[in-house]
A and B are shown apart, each in its own frame.
Chain A
Amino acid sequence: MTKAELRADVYRRLEEVTGSPVYVSQADVDDALHDGYLEISDATEWREVYRTVDLCASRPYYDLRTLFGADLVVLRPLGAFHEDTNRWLTPISPRDLDGGYARWEQVIGPPDRLFTRGLFWIAYYPAIGSDSGTVKQYLAVLPDALDDEDAPGFDEDYHPALVEYALAEILPQIGEVTAAVAAWDAYTAYERALAAHMQNRGSVARQHGYQ
């Protein structure tokens, strides 16, 4: 379903006329659909991409907020592959590193470990000695905004989730609390189904219709 079709569906459920709505503006519906698209993407992490990271000399941590440009909103880093040694970096924690060489932050060499500090900082350990080499970093990211003719990037079975989310956003503003909570419950059912599908792709069947 395209965004225009999703919008029409929202108006149908609100018993409004799509072309000339009275109570709910098109901007409100579009905002709610966009918010729903981001929310289900945030919850299920369905969009996975990779980007190349240029390694910098002795750099302890890389900032996930700015490393890939403003257009790519990173939810969390996934696996990483060092392209010079052709090795996948193994996740580790600083506590584990403390158990080896105590001054591990001073170690220089090709990276073979990966860890994060807080939400925003990622480290490739050991740090490289010069500005050379690249890491192929896989990421869970948010999708781009939809235009009218665009359809959400995940399977069509889950597209009605956006309609339910939009209703859960709009209905409280016109006093329909019970209907809004019901729409929210319907949305979360779609969300759980998409999350299950994402986590076990290939063995979990896609959802067909409303559960």
Chain B
Amino acid sequence: MAISKRDLRVMVRRRLNDADATFWSDSEIDQYLLAGYRLWARRTRAIWDLHYAENLPRGMSYTAPFEADLVDFDYGQANFTAAFERRLFLEDEGDAVGPANHTVPFEAINGHLSDAGASTAIPATADLPPTVTEIDRPLWDQRAIPVITPREAQARDSRYELTEGEVYALVTEGQGVRTIRKVRVPAMMADAYTVEGSWGILRRPTDVTTGTVTGTWGCPRRLPGHHPMGSEAFGLPRRVYRDGKNVRIEHWGEGRALDTDATPLEVPDRAAVGLRDYVLSRCYQKAGPAQDLKLSAHYEARWQRSVTRWAARVTAQQRNRVSRMGGATAVQRSGPPRPQLPWTFGVVVR
């Protein structure tokens, strides 16, 4: 049984002997809980997921950031539709987000943009979801590609922001907090499945797989070759991506958003007990009549050992791996060594 935010608050209050919220308010406990929840995910790298930075013309679902919570299908934000508008309609160029010229992927994939004479240029940059904490392994066409610095990209191709072709690296520095740049600029639109109908759940797995379908009614549960993305451990496939000519980002991230009190935490129940200790430590640390630094240190130590244990578990299989010589340097991070003069050149030798 997964532990929810409400369950955890009850556990904390019981140990604090503060059922009436005399010393610690609910919002204060929730704040500590959220901080611990995020910290746990960052330190353990337990939540692993996929994200596709699709090679499609930029689309949009809303024009202002606050609308992100209101949409069911998040195709991104934009506030202008053609490149020339960037400096025309917005007071500050820095406020410009876009351009984007369609609202549903099939409008780009099925050729409606070109039919309408709209731009089909594929942007080189893409935004990562706010839950991403660290990039694990980016891929282009199912091959791992490195994350390089702007200086490395410049050394390879000074026109790397303009040159189109296959993507061979990502640049994250200098692009903004959650923006990645593909090097080179994708030249071709990503392949996509043609699915009957344009919204709702996937009805016919035969649209996306040639495999034998098990069962005769209901919704598809799993698709061969595809990994369910998102924070849910189960459910229905919503959007199925193809890897060819596409950029996939395998990443570590935060657990599911705790929108309501009943939302289960995306951590094992035993790890939730560690979170409880984190919250207790912070509560007892707060200056006030109920402060108890000895108990705070006690619960801090318990939290630390819990989070260390889970972090060790995540890497346990990797620690036992049998490596090949040179296997750890698979992805080339930079070009070949620079040419150098012979080591004795110019040195006085006897």
Q: Check B70 for interface membership: any CB of A closer than 8 A.
A: no
Q: Check B165 for interface membership: any CB of A closer than 8 A.
A: no
List A contacts of B22 (CB < 8 A): none
Q: Contact between B318 and A177 (Cβ–Cβ < 8 Å)?
A: no
Q: Contact between A115 and B317 (Cβ–Cβ < 8 Å)?
A: yes
Query: Given the known A-B contacts A75-B313, A92-B321, are A99 and B328 also in contact in the complex, defined by CB atoms under 8 Å?
Result: yes
**Closest B-chain residue to A65, C-beta based?**
B233
**Closest B-chain residue to A103, C-beta based?**
B142
List A contacts of B250 (CB < 8 A): 117
List B contacts of A180 (CB < 8 A): 295, 298
Q: Check A59 for interface membership: any CB of B closer than 8 A.
A: yes
Q: How far is the CB of B145 from the nearest CB of chain A, in Å?
A: 10
Complex CA gap A18/B143 in Å reads: 65
List B contacts of A35 (CB < 8 A): 273
Query: Given the known A-B contacts A58-B211, A105-B142, A118-B48, are A99 and B327 also in contact in the complex, defined by CB atoms under 8 Å?
Result: yes
Q: Contact between B313 and A103 (Cβ–Cβ < 8 Å)?
A: no
List B contacts of A102 (CB < 8 A): 142-144
Q: Check B333 for interface membership: any CB of A closer than 8 A.
A: no
**Closest A-chain residue to B1, C-beta based?**
A70
Q: How large is the interface on B (under 10, 10 to 19, 20 to 34, 35 or more residues)?
A: 35 or more
**Closest A-chain residue to B45, C-beta based?**
A118
Q: Check A181 for interface membership: any CB of B closer than 8 A.
A: yes
Q: Contact between A172 and B224 (Cβ–Cβ < 8 Å)?
A: no
Q: Check A143 for interface membership: any CB of B closer than 8 A.
A: no
Which stretch, A4-12, A37-45, A150-158, A198-206, touches the partner chain B? A37-45
Q: Check B316 for interface membership: any CB of A closer than 8 A.
A: yes
List B residues 241-291 near A (Cβ within 8 Å): 250, 252, 268-270, 273
Q: Contact between A61 and B318 (Cβ–Cβ < 8 Å)?
A: no
Q: Contact between A91 and B320 (Cβ–Cβ < 8 Å)?
A: yes
Q: How far is the CB of A139 from the nearest CB of chain B, in Å?
A: 12
Complex CA gap A39/B302 in Å reads: 11
Q: How far is the CB of B49 from the nearest CB of chain A, in Å?
A: 8
Q: Contact between A173 and B15 (Cβ–Cβ < 8 Å)?
A: yes
Q: Residue B233 contacts which of A66, A127, A169 (CB distance < 8 angstroms)?
A: A66
Q: Check B344 for interface membership: any CB of A closer than 8 A.
A: no
List B contacts of A131 (CB < 8 A): 212, 214
List B contacts of A94 (CB < 8 A): 137, 144
Q: Residue B44 contacts which of A57, A60, A119 (CB distance < 8 angstroms)?
A: A119
Complex CA gap A127/B310 in Å reads: 27
Q: Contact between A115 and B321 (Cβ–Cβ < 8 Å)?
A: yes
Q: Check B234 for interface membership: any CB of A closer than 8 A.
A: yes
Q: Contact between A56 and B233 (Cβ–Cβ < 8 Å)?
A: no
Q: Check A106 for interface membership: any CB of B closer than 8 A.
A: yes
Q: Contact between B323 and A96 (Cβ–Cβ < 8 Å)?
A: yes
Q: Check B227 for interface membership: any CB of A closer than 8 A.
A: yes
Q: Check A142 for interface membership: any CB of B closer than 8 A.
A: yes
> Taking each of A65, A96, A115, which has the highest tally of chain B beta carbons within 10 Å of its own beta carbon?
A96
Query: Given the known A-B contacts A118-B252, A172-B15, are A91 and B317 also in contact in the complex, defined by CB atoms under 8 Å?
Result: yes
A66-100 to B contact mask, C-beta < 8 Å, 1/0:
10000001011100000000000011111110111
Q: Contact between B227 and A60 (Cβ–Cβ < 8 Å)?
A: yes
List B contacts of A66 (CB < 8 A): 233-234
Q: Contact between A96 and B327 (Cβ–Cβ < 8 Å)?
A: yes
Query: Given the known A-B contacts A58-B211, A95-B327, are A39 and B273 also in contact in the complex, defined by CB atoms under 8 Å?
Result: yes
List A contacts of B305 (CB < 8 A): 43
Q: Check A50 for interface membership: any CB of B closer than 8 A.
A: no
Query: Given the known A-B contacts A58-B224, A76-B313, A114-B317, are A181 and B294 also in contact in the complex, defined by CB atoms under 8 Å?
Result: yes
**Closest A-chain residue to B253, C-beta based?**
A118
Q: How far is the CB of A57 from the nearest CB of chain B, in Å?
A: 5
Q: Contact between A56 and B309 (Cβ–Cβ < 8 Å)?
A: no
List B contacts of A114 (CB < 8 A): 317
Query: Given the known A-B contacts A56-B224, A172-B295, A181-B294, are A119 and B234 also in contact in the complex, defined by CB atoms under 8 Å?
Result: no
Q: Residue A118 contacts which of B46, B225, B330 (CB distance < 8 angstroms)?
A: B46
Q: Contact between A95 and B313 (Cβ–Cβ < 8 Å)?
A: no
> Taking each of B15, B270, B302, which has the highest tally of chain A beta carbons within 10 Å of its own beta carbon?
B270
List A contacts of B331 (CB < 8 A): 95, 98
Q: Check A138 for interface membership: any CB of B closer than 8 A.
A: no
Q: Residue B330 contacts which of A96, A119, A121 (CB distance < 8 angstroms)?
A: A96
Complex CA gap A137/B288 in Å reads: 51
> Taking each of B46, B211, B329, which has the highest tally of chain A beta carbons within 10 Å of its own beta carbon?
B211
Write 24 A-B pairs (CB below 8 A) sorted by A numbering: A43-B309, A57-B211, A58-B211, A58-B224, A60-B225, A60-B226, A75-B270, A76-B317, A92-B322, A95-B328, A96-B324, A96-B328, A98-B137, A99-B327, A99-B329, A100-B327, A102-B143, A105-B142, A106-B142, A115-B321, A131-B214, A177-B295, A177-B298, A181-B294
Starting from the known contacts A60-B226, A66-B233, 7 additional A-B residue pairs (CB-CB under 8 Å) come to A38-B273, A63-B233, A75-B268, A100-B324, A121-B227, A127-B225, A180-B295
8 nearest A-B residue pairs (beta carbon): A118-B48, A99-B330, A119-B46, A58-B224, A98-B330, A96-B327, A58-B225, A102-B143
